[in-house]
Each structure stands twice: as C-alpha cells, then as structure tokens.
Amino acid sequence: MKILIVTSEIGTSGGGLSLSCHRLVEELSKKHDVMWTDSTSSPVPCVLGEMAHFDGHVISKEYKLKFDSMRYADREIVIGFGARYNGYYASLLAQNISARLILSLRGSDVNLAKWSVEDSYYLREACAYASNIVCLSEEMAHNVRMLCSTPEHKLCIIPNMMVGTPQNIVFPNLPSSLVIGCAASHLNEKKGVVNLLHFVSALKKKSSVPVRLELVGMIDDDIALQYHSVVKDLSIQDSVRFIGYESRDQFESRLKTWDFYIQTSVCEGHPNAVMESLLCGTAVLMSPTGFIAEQLLADEHFRIVVFRSWHADDMVDQVLDIILRPDLSSLYNQVVSFLLESSSWSAAYGKWFTLLEPKYDSYHALSIEHITSVALHDVGGDMHDSITTPVAVFDSFVDFIAQSGYRLCSMRDYISTDPESRANCIVCTFDDGYAGLKSEALPVLSKYGFSATVFVCTELIGHDNKWNNKDAKLRHHLSKDDLLILHHAGWEIASHGAQHKNLLKLTDPEIEYELETSANFLKDLVGYADTYSYPYGAFNRFIQLQVAKFYKYAFAVSEGGTTLTNDAYQIRRYSITELYKMLAK
C-alpha cells in the first residue's frame, strides 16, 4: 500500500504529536510504502504581505498543494496526522490525487476546535471527506460527533502505544518532601500551568511537607512573564523551577527524580508524558481528560489517581489522601500493568493495519438488503458447551470474517454505516453479558478493529449465573466497570431485560418493568438504550409492540427475518456454523 502521511511536525525530540507521528511512520513502513510531507512547508519562495487579498501566504499554500499533488500522485492513502489546517490540507490533497483519506486527530485539534470558527471549519471539511477518523479517546470522538455530525462507522479509537520496559514504582511511606513535575514541548495554558501553580500554593498552605515543582518545556516570552508574575503573587518562588527545553534523554533522567508527574490539562488525547513517567517508575496524577484517564476511571480501583476536579484545593486534598496510602507502590504498578494492556502494540497498530486494508469489492455472499448477525454467549477456555465458544474457535472465526472481506460490528455501528457499506457488515451479538467477553472476546475483536453488541440483564450485572439452572458451569456477569470498558472500546451495551425473564410468562406490569427498568439503567450508564434481545428468544406480536415503546430494534434467535425494514423487532440471528456455510457459497 502506498501511503502519504501529512503532518505539521515529526521526530523524537518534539512533543506528543511529533513523537506519535514518528512512531506511526516507523511501524507502518514495516509493511507498506510510506512517505510523509510537512503541510506547513513551502516549496516555492513568496513575498508575504498583510494588505493584499491574495498575499504570499495564500499563494504559497496553492503552490504547495499543486507541488504535492504532482509529487505524490501515486499515493493510495493519505493520513492527515492532526486536524486544524493540517487536516484540511490533507483532505484537499487526497481529493486532488483521488486517494482515500484517514484523518488522525490528536487532542486539542478537535477538543478545542469548538471555540474557533476557523478550526471548526477545517475540522468539518476534513471529516466530511475522510473515510475513517481516528480518535485517541472517547472524549475526542464525542466532540467529532457533536461538531461534525459524523456517522459512527467512520470513528475509530486507537490509542498511542506504550513504548518501553516498565520500571518498578517505589513510593516511600510518609515522604519527607515532594518533588513534582510537569512537561511538554511547549508549556502553554492547555497544560494547566497556572492552575498547577495555584495547586502548589494551596499545598504549601495545607501541608508542612516541603514541595518543589519543576516545569520542563519551552515557553514563549510573553507567557513566561505572566507565569513568573503568578509565581511572585503567590509567593512560591522557592518552590517552582522553570527548567526550559530538555532533550528526551535529559527529560527521562529528570522524570526519575520526581515523586509525581502531575498533568492538569483541560483537554488531552493520549498524553505521552504520562505513559513515559509510569514506565520510568514515576507515579502520576492526572486530570479527567484523554484516553488514559478514561481507562483509569472505568476501573474503581484506579480512579483515585485521576483528579476529581480541576480546582486547586480539591487537587491538594486528593494528593494528601493518596500519599498516605500504604499500598501506593503496589497501586501504581497495577496501574502500569492495566495500561500496558489497553495501550499495547496489538491494541494500537492492529487497528491501524486493519484500517489500511483495501475495501472488499468482490461479489458479496450476503445481500445488501438484509442484516446478517451472529448469536453468541460466552467466550473462554477450550471446550464447547451450549453457552461457551472456545477462545481458539472464536479467534479463528473472527479471522475468517476479516479474511473474507467482512467486518464484525455492533448494531449501533451497523445503523450508522451507509447502506452500501452494510453489505460488508455482520452484527456480532453476545447474550447475557458474561465476564469472558472482557477478558477473551474484547482482545480478539480489538485486534481487527471490530466491535460488538452485548445484551446485559441490568439487575444481574456483577452477579453470578445461579439463576440459570440449565447451565452446569458457574459464570460471572460483567460488572458495571467492565461494561464501561467495553463501551469505551466501541462496543454497544444493550438490553436483555432486567432479570432474564421470559416475557411471554409475565403480566403486563411485569413486562413493562423488565423493559423500562433496563432501558433507564442503560441510558444512565452509557447514554442510550437502542437495542433489545428477547430472553430465550421468546416473543409474539404483543411483546414486540411493548418492546417498541422503549427500543428501536430487537433481536430474536432462529425465528424472525433479516430485512431491517420489516423485521426491526424480530431480527433473526445465525450461529457461527451457519455463517461459515453462508460465506463459503
């Protein structure tokens, strides 16, 4: 595949965008023909003026576009690495050379675009042409949906990769002093620097523990004057050091001398410095923004390392609480292991390589007019039973789907996909919501960038399956935190009722309770309740009408039909064996 990456910066000495772009080029080059171009460079010199309508800035951009259109005419895919003007330029170039555009958003380029008319315009134009939009976090994907009305099938969350071997984090009990730090290639206010200065002031007032804040990164002269003025006003001159720029090796050495890396940004994508700190053996505290924070907040054991508020006094209270924990070293080493799994090589680049695969243009065995879906329950172990699909069998099935030119997706993803592309989609569903889906099914599907719908019984969440006297195996249902992890990974969390009861055997009030209670719970948990699955596959026309009061779609088992227009509340599902036969035709 011939790929062109359009970026505004690349290299190992710069900040998050620069380093991430360098790593992506390195990795993709192992399998593809990759080139890159700087969207801000000019191939032809121009006189820059301020008064002329078509001054040198505009003429220079037109030269650049035509120059690159000729130079990179053979490229099949353009990756716009970063939005704002860079993403807009990448979209124009991709259109000029008739290439597919993948837009890779990095953080503030979408999270802050809402406050700039120019940036909002650039973002919308780039998203409109892009075939896929890569976001680093769910927060970013939310902003793309809000600003650009982007269909769900275009969006994909791919985190940065954690690079390096983790060092053991050892934190002394009752420290005699605290050395904290924050870093960026440019220490601007997006990093929350002034708020961090107020945090130091508040910490000195509330605690007798000496504290020193070290700030690493370049600062513009006018901003530096304001920072120093705040430091003087707060009387914290002896507690703050502005280090200036350091090379990556210098920075890593300094990281190891800090007790905490503190990130107080108002918006992040996937902060590289946080990952580097943890890998260097330095504990972190961070604001609730970006991929890492989303992952930590989804697990109740790790929420304590994410600030509950940006207010300096609240941050201080949380720090004073956490440094007294006797299990602090153990906690942070668990955090590292947890994040290594969600930000692994396979989690990141597996999705990238899937995105780059050419579209399947051959004859489709599945009709474009019908919805095709697969029904599963639990994934785990190496033995089949009426509920369990062995891990190896599931892995082989998912690989077969991908190699056949199809993709597995959730019902929400399917509906947001354009009708023509639905011919490549198979809705993957899991009934009951067992814990094996997080530990076994999620890694397999994530490897290919696929998603799924999991139908949960909302009053069984976190409990075992003793309600099912026909299942000889003790299983545990997904917990609330598990469901949020699946949700953030792009899965649809859907309804299987409240207690897995056969609706045909209930009174009218009991039916309404099962349906409404579950719908309300899901709306509170993930913000939607679109899809339902009939427990035991049991339904009739009356039940369908009741379900339609609360949900948009309902899945049966072997009954019903596959035409979405006529069968929205009786969608028939197939087994893995049936799908193998259908796709082999």
pLDDT exceeding 90 applies to what percent of the chain? 56
43 pLDDT above the threshold of 90 = no
Which pLDDT does position 358 carry in this prediction?
Answer: 62
Model confidence pLDDT, tens digit, residues 428-444: 999 999 999 999 999 99
Q: Nearest CA to 227 among 211, 251, 243, 203?
A: 243
474 pLDDT above the threshold of 50 = yes
42 pLDDT above the threshold of 90 = no
Which pLDDT does position 561 carry in this prediction?
Answer: 86
pLDDT exceeding 70 applies to what percent of the chain? 93
Residues 194, 137 share a domain? no
Residues 423, 465 share a domain? yes
Give 56's pLDDT tier (boundaries 50, 70, 90): low
Is residue 458 classed as helix, strand or coil in its secondary structure? coil
Q: Which of 281, 308, 342 is the last residue of a domain?
A: 342
Residues 332, 406 share a domain? no
Q: What is the mean pLDDT of residues 335-346?
A: 78
Model confidence pLDDT, tens digit, residues 126-161: 998 898 999 998 999 989 988 887 777 788 888 887
Q: Which residues contact 270 (CB under 8 A, 6 or more apart)?
A: 16, 20, 107, 136, 137, 159, 160, 290, 291, 292, 343
Structural domain includes residue 166: no
Residues 397, 335 share a domain? no
CA 250 to centroid of chain Cα atoms: 30
Model confidence pLDDT, tens digit, residues 539-559: 998 899 899 899 999 999 988
CB contact at 8 A, 305 and 332: yes
397 pLDDT above the threshold of 50 = yes
Residues 199, 244 share a domain? yes
Q: What is the mean pLDDT of residues 502-530?
A: 94
Which pLDDT does position 530 carry in this prediction?
Answer: 93
The CATH code of the domain that includes 563 is 3.20.20.370
Higher local confidence (pLDDT), 227 or 166: 227
Please give the model's pTM, rounded to 2 decimal places: 0.60
Is residue 465 classed as helix, strand or coil in its secondary structure? coil
Which pLDDT does position 6 carry in this prediction?
Answer: 95
CB contact at 8 A, 278 and 332: yes
Q: Nearest CA to 275 among 341, 320, 219?
A: 341
What burial class does residue 454 get, using C-beta atoms within 10 Å of its C-beta: 0-12 exposed, 13-18 middle, 19+ buried?
Answer: buried
How many domains does the chain divide into? 3
Q: Which of 295, 314, 342 is the last residue of a domain?
A: 342
Residues 377, 324 share a domain? no
Q: What is the mean pLDDT of residues 513-524?
A: 96
H or E stretch at 16: helix 16-28
47 pLDDT above the threshold of 80 = no
Structural domain includes residue 351: no
Higher local confidence (pLDDT), 581 or 410: 410
Residues 439, 296 share a domain? no
H or E stretch at 512: helix 508-526
Residues 182, 153 share a domain? no
Structural domain includes residue 350: no
Residues 305, 222 share a domain? yes
Structural domain includes residue 170: no
361 pLDDT above the threshold of 50 = no
CB contact at 8 A, 1 and 32: yes
Lowest mean pLDDT among 4-13, 171-180, 237-246, 397-406: 171-180
Between the two ends of the chain, the Cα-to-Cα distance in Å is 29
Distance CA 21, CA 14 (A): 10
Give 54's pLDDT tier (boundaries 50, 70, 90): low
**Averaged pLDDT score across all residues of the chain:** 88
Model confidence pLDDT, tens digit, residues 476-490: 999 999 999 999 999
Model confidence pLDDT, tens digit, residues 560-572: 888 876 788 999 9
Distance CA 461, CA 483 (A): 9
Model confidence pLDDT, tens digit, residues 171-211: 766 567 899 999 988 888 888 999 999 999 999 999 988 99
The CATH code of the domain that includes 187 is 3.40.50.2000
532 pLDDT above the threshold of 50 = yes
Structural domain includes residue 353: no
Which pLDDT does position 368 carry in this prediction?
Answer: 36
Structural domain includes residue 565: yes
Structural domain includes residue 114: yes
Distance CA 215, CA 132 (A): 37
Q: Which of 313, 342, 371 is the last residue of a domain?
A: 342
Model confidence pLDDT, tens digit, residues 68-100: 999 999 999 999 998 889 999 999 999 999 899
Residues 79, 190 share a domain? no
Contacts 24+ apart (CB under 8 A), 99-103: 99/4, 99/75, 100/76, 100/131, 101/77, 101/126, 101/129, 101/130, 101/131, 102/77, 102/78, 102/130, 102/131, 102/132, 102/133, 102/134, 102/355, 102/356, 103/79, 103/127, 103/130, 103/132, 103/133, 103/134
Q: What is the mean pLDDT of residues 520-525?
A: 95
Q: What is the mean pLDDT of residues 284-298?
A: 92
Q: What is the mean pLDDT of residues 454-464?
A: 96
Model confidence pLDDT, tens digit, residues 316-330: 999 998 888 888 899
Which pLDDT does position 69 carry in this prediction?
Answer: 94
498 pLDDT above the threshold of 50 = yes
Residues 240, 280 share a domain? yes
Residues 96, 245 share a domain? no
Residue 492: φ, ψ to 5°: -95, 130
3-state secondary structure 56-123: HHHHHHHHHHHHHHHHCCCCCEEEEECCHHHHHHHHHHHHHCCCEEEEECCCHHHHCHHHCHHHHHHH
Residue 300: φ, ψ to 5°: -60, -25
Give the structural domain span for 321.
178-342
> What's the Rg (C-alpha) of the chain?
26
Structural domain includes residue 380: yes
Q: What is the mean pLDDT of residues 382-399?
A: 92
Distance CA 578, CA 109 (A): 45
CA 194 to centroid of chain Cα atoms: 28
346 pLDDT above the threshold of 70 = no
Contacts 24+ apart (CB under 8 A), 569-573: 569/539, 569/544, 570/539, 570/544, 571/371, 571/373, 572/373, 573/373, 573/374, 573/375, 573/429
